[in-house]
Structure 1
Amino acid sequence: MEIILPCKLNSVEPITVNDENVLVVIGANGTGKSSFGRDIAERYPDFVERIAAMRALFISTSSVNFRDMISERLLSPLVSDYERLVLRLREEEYEAAVNYKEACKENPSLLPPVTKIDKIQEIWEKMFPYNRLVRKSGFIELAATSKNGSSYNASRMSDGEKIVFYLIGAVLNAKPNALLVIEEPEIHLHTSIKGSLWDEIEMCRPDCTFIYLTHDIEFASSRRHSKRIWIRSYDGDEKTWDYEIMEDNESFPEELYLEILGSRKPVLFIEGTDQSSIDIRLYPHIFPEYMVKPMGGCQKVIETTKAFGQLKDFHLLESKGIVDRDRRTEGEIEYLRQQNILVPDVAEVENLLMLEDVIKTVAKRLMRNSDSVFRQVKENVVKLFVKEMESQVILHAKHQVRKKLETTVDRKIATVEQLAEHVEMIRNNIHVHEIYKEIKNRFASYASQGDYQSILRVYNQKGMLPQSRLCNLLGINNKESYLKLILSILKEDKKDAQAIRMAIKKSLGA
């Protein structure tokens, strides 16, 4: 569907977006996000449904005309949008039960229908794993029951519990192919569930277009494969907005981060710029409590993490960084950790996907013999490492020699004679053959002992995963399919996700 966006400042031609399932409109408070959404709603009255969870909890008459409002007030007590939704769901549940009862007279083996309340219950309980929704008094009353057995009526749910219930139900009840304008989709939602909740809701209604109005940059970042619209300001008299459209592979500009820094969420700086990179796709699911910000190269991550930490008295936010291990020495790694920069116990981010516990968890998920799969992968990786050992040794030796040169050069040199003498001293003090021999013996020991974890720590080889035949052993197509499966498990946030997350965090020393 082509959507004409509101009037853009200094733009003559109308701005349109095509075939987008998700639009994220983000900006600081007071920049005109609600007016932006209202403008879109007025353009498409036959398609639009506006969802504002906080307002839905209170009495609302916005959906009826004046005559209907008077009639409703005279004949029945006012109800909120939330209460209206519950009434509609109860009506559907009753009708489904009656129809099912009648149908079973003809076909006793007929399975019961899946109603909207069933779908709401499934998602709601994923968000609140220590609670569950039950039906009382037949199917009329909803209650939440905790593990200790205490229960309370749905009307006594917390605002957060009600909002989750309402958001799921409101989207499920939307008309086909609706344009859903959702204000503050993150409100009253704990940071650990707001991304996963909307992932679940979006999957329930692939026919709809979701337009989120938010000031939460972490939520906006979680809507991958979306078109993001950054609103800077709004002129109410002219009804024009100063905004910028960003593709899903663009990072948010620094100016926007400064605007929204009030989110008070700890920041995790990582490597990568391309949204398809493993770092950017993986780490938000490993550290959902952090706002993950890709910085490009490792040096930029190091510099930014240190600088952000030095300004802690100003912004009060915790910050960490993650850089690949590559061929860093233990001394380098210890220095980085003192600067709040995590370094994994594997050579690079691809190797995290090859951790034993990660492989075994995925293998079990696919009903494979996890021990057998890992044993074969381990054998293949050891063979690959042996085959490429000489080149790997040289790479590590070059790195050590370069670091020794960097730390040995004395900058307090005044004459060419002093420089020549100093260079000769360096040559005599850096024993290349000894460095090479030590690394070669160590790597040979890893290979002979089948020390898989140590090989992952030193082996920089982006082709290791496909060459290990892991995907063939699991019965999946390729490395990308393997990564997508891991990400889907992490999104579920169940036992398998905990196992994968724990293995990766352990490798990072987190």
Structure 2
Amino acid sequence: MTENKYKFNIPTSNNGTLNIPLTEGNTVFVLGANGVGKSTLMHNLFSQNQNHAKRILAHRQTWFTDNAMNMTASQKKSTESNIKSSDTRTYSRWKDDYSQARTSLSIFDLINSHKIRARIIADAVDGDNIELAKEHSRHQAPIEAINELLAISNIPIKIILGKDEQLFASKNGSEPYSIAELSDGERNALLIGADVLTTDPNSLIILDEPERHLHRSIISPLLTSLFRKREDCVFVISTHDIHLPIDCQESSTLLIRSCQWQGKNIKDWDADLITADLSIPISIKTDILGSKRELLFVEGQSTSLDRQIYQLIYPSVSVIPQGNCREVEKAVNGIKKTETIHWINAYGLIDTDDRTPEQIQALLEKGVAAIPFYSVEALYYHLHIIEKVAQKISELTGQEATTLYQNATENIISDISQHKERLCSKLCEKKLRNDIMLSMPKHRDIQQRGQFNVTFDLNQILQDEENYFDSLVTNSNQMELLTRYPIRETQVLNRITSGLGLNKEQYENTVRKLILDSTEIKDFYRALLQPLTELIE
């Protein structure tokens, strides 16, 4: 990243000149009501960064004249130049002379990026460099990335590149039909995804009002997934939707309350920058609740594996990471205590952490399901899923599936055994933390003003766990070793993926693709997470 490459300077009436830091991999939301000057601000931002920025207008056209590449490469280049020049003009805040051309460019770029990838792979094959061809083939194809985004965003359609370089859609396995026949929201999601995914690396992406034509259950996961896929870019999002910056907790928010005009130009704005570590003031939060929402609170962060896989397994819910199990419980309890004033259904998912059956049942009655895994890696690296990935690779490459599976799993016992003491002590730490919290004195105990002591025989606790570990190794119980301990802290994950000829990112992308494509895989996971599945259903 080039230092000071991006500029976002705002004259304000309350803070002097605000210099908003823009760094690749980060997002800034510009939040404010109608009429506070957001459109002018976005126009100024583009003008300051036009050589390395793409602007996706609020008043964008969301319909297509057709579903094919209807311009040549030279026409595309000329049109892009004209659009960039137009976007620097003041009238671009409310008028677009290239609305139809923009949608044609989006389709051109999406199809062309797919062709370029295919050409690179073919060139490597023609050059007899099969390993290079395999490496390029493991990079996610743009249309495949679009389909993953749509699935994560609760849009049940799949985009297909057909003959004569035409784009088609299939809804829930239906016969393919032209993308021109998609709904407004589906087309808008497709256009936003195509524009962002085909943007040049290290660009500033300015997106005005992404929520247009899109339901809340769609736009939030769509944006967070796009941010993850384009961490090489900077995003500035202009919106009216208070929930978007709340959903993206690692973003900063520029609050625009009003602006002052001087003639036909805005002199300054009443604005404050709320960085990621601060809360958005309650005074601007909306009191209006939307339609019924299904919320699943999980452990982990917004960028972790948890959110991605649970959103695919349960596409009808909005998945919200809460960091740790206690925050998950607090979130679910907080919503359930106010059920008389809203229509939100909340569920929680946490790790079992050696809780007793009685404790697990008590949590379940509160809407929180506990699963018997140390972490989400147990879902990605389940032996059944490793086997399915091996079969998929076999279909693509012709390699023997059983050999791939054996290569991936043959070192699990030895790799995990090398870290016995650390893995056992980490597990014990997690269990003890839970025990300590459960043992904390209640207010009635404190009122007695006596002594309170909690004592643990750490030697015996660790020894018992190590004995159990040894029994798993003796019995070659790979599955229990993979699910019970923090395997991400060992080399076992890299050994599994390399045995399949993949790296971790490629493997995890493949797992998510399997969930997208296979009802059997989705049903497998839903059965594995039966307590949660029963809560949601």
> Would you say 1:188 and 2:213 are equivalent positions?
yes
Task: Give the conservation status (yes or no) of the 8 Å contact 1:272–1:294.
Answer: yes
Equivalent residue number for residue 234 of structure 1: 258
Between 321-330 and 499-508, the greater mean CA deviation after superposition? 499-508
Change (3 A) 1:305 1:48: same
Equivalent residue number for residue 382 of structure 2: 355
Of 296, 319, 334, the residue aligned with 1:268 is 296
> Would you say 1:3 and 2:25 are equivalent positions?
no
Equivalent residue number for residue 315 of structure 1: 342
Task: Give the conservation status (yes or no) of the 8 Å contact 2:242–2:285.
Answer: no
- Any residues of structure 2 matched to 1:54-453 within 5 Å, and which? 55-57=60-62, 81-85=98-102, 127=150, 129-130=157-158, 132=160, 149=175, 151=177, 154=180, 156-164=181-189, 166-167=191-192, 179-189=204-214, 194=219, 210-216=235-241, 220=245, 228-231=252-255, 233-237=257-261, 239-247=268-276, 250=277, 253=280, 255=282, 258-259=285-286, 262=289, 265-272=293-300, 279=306, 289-362=316-389, 369-373=403-407, 375-380=409-414, 383=417, 449-453=475-479
Task: Give the conservation status (yes or no) of the 8 Å contact 2:206–2:237.
Answer: yes
Task: Give the conservation status (yes or no) of the 8 Å contact 2:161–2:168.
Answer: yes
For residues 230 and 465 of structure 2, the distance between their equivalents in structure 1, rounded to whole angstroms, comes to 56
Task: Give the conservation status (yes or no) of the 8 Å contact 1:184–1:213.
Answer: yes
Task: State the SS of the aligned residue for 1:231.
Answer: strand
| RMSD of Structure 2 on Structure 1 (CA) | 5.9
For residues 413 and 251 of structure 1, the distance between their equivalents in structure 2, rounded to whole angstroms, comes to 36
Task: Give the conservation status (yes or no) of the 8 Å contact 2:24–2:232.
Answer: no
For residues 33 and 10 of structure 2, the distance between their equivalents in structure 1, rounded to whole angstroms, comes to 18
Q: Deviation digits for residues 107-140 of structure 1, max 9, x if unmatched?
A: xx9xxxxxxxxx98776666464564656xx77x
For residues 424 and 492 of structure 2, the distance between their equivalents in structure 1, rounded to whole angstroms, comes to 22
Equivalent residue number for residue 494 of structure 1: 516
What is the Cα deviation at residue 240 of structure 1? 0.9
Task: Give the conservation status (yes or no) of the 8 Å contact 2:408–2:495.
Answer: no
Task: Give the conservation status (yes or no) of the 8 Å contact 1:217–1:260.
Answer: no
Task: State the SS of the aligned residue for 1:323.
Answer: strand
Change (3 A) 1:483 1:321: farther
**TM-score computed with the length of structure 1 as normaliser:** 0.62
Equivalent residue number for residue 112 of structure 1: none
For residues 32 and 299 of structure 2, the distance between their equivalents in structure 1, rounded to whole angstroms, comes to 27
Change (3 A) 1:277 1:45: closer
What is the Cα deviation at residue 339 of structure 1? 1.0
What is the Cα deviation at residue 318 of structure 1? 1.6
Task: Give the conservation status (yes or no) of the 8 Å contact 1:355–1:503.
Answer: no
Task: State the SS of the aligned residue for 2:348.
Answer: strand
For residues 162 and 4 of structure 1, the distance between their equivalents in structure 2, rounded to whole angstroms, comes to 30
Task: Give the conservation status (yes or no) of the 8 Å contact 1:361–1:496.
Answer: no
Change (3 A) 1:507 1:167: closer
Over alpha carbons, which structure has the higher Rg? 1
Task: Give the conservation status (yes or no) of the 8 Å contact 2:295–2:318.
Answer: yes
Task: Give the conservation status (yes or no) of the 8 Å contact 2:63–2:187.
Answer: no
Change (3 A) 1:446 1:406: farther
Q: Deviation digits for residues 431-484 of structure 1, max 9, x if unmatched?
A: x9x999998997776555444445556x44x3x34546341343289x9x6367
Aligned length: 450
User: What stretches of structure 2 of length at least 5 have no aligned partner?
Assistant: 65-81, 87-94, 111-125, 127-140, 151-155, 262-266, 395-400, 533-537
What is the Cα deviation at residue 336 of structure 1? 0.9
For residues 430 and 490 of structure 2, the distance between their equivalents in structure 1, rounded to whole angstroms, comes to 22
For residues 301 and 398 of structure 1, the distance between their equivalents in structure 2, rounded to whole angstroms, comes to 19
Equivalent residue number for residue 116 of structure 2: none
Amino acid at match of 2:362: Y
For residues 150 and 390 of structure 1, the distance between their equivalents in structure 2, rounded to whole angstroms, comes to 52
**TM-score computed with the length of structure 2 as normaliser:** 0.60
Amino acid at match of 2:373: V
> Would you say 1:506 and 2:528 are equivalent positions?
yes
Task: State the SS of the aligned residue for 2:410.
Answer: helix
For residues 92 and 436 of structure 1, the distance between their equivalents in structure 2, rounded to whole angstroms, comes to 57
Change (3 A) 1:435 1:338: farther
For residues 215 and 453 of structure 1, the distance between their equivalents in structure 2, rounded to whole angstroms, comes to 47
Amino acid at match of 1:242: A
> Would you say 1:36 and 2:41 are equivalent positions?
yes
User: What stretches of structure 1 of length at least 5 have no aligned partner?
Assistant: 66-77, 94-108, 110-118
Task: State the SS of the aligned residue for 1:267.
Answer: strand
Change (3 A) 1:88 1:495: closer
Task: Give the conservation status (yes or no) of the 8 Å contact 2:413–2:473.
Answer: no
What is the Cα deviation at residue 383 of structure 1? 4.5
What is the Cα deviation at residue 359 of structure 1? 3.7
What is the Cα deviation at residue 84 of structure 1? 3.6
Change (3 A) 1:445 1:236: same
Task: State the SS of the aligned residue for 2:273.
Answer: strand
Change (3 A) 1:35 1:231: farther
Task: State the SS of the aligned residue for 2:15.
Answer: coil
For residues 404 and 284 of structure 2, the distance between their equivalents in structure 1, rounded to whole angstroms, comes to 43
- Any residues of structure 2 matched to 1:460-475 within 5 Å, and which? 460=485, 462=486, 464-467=487-490, 469-475=492-498
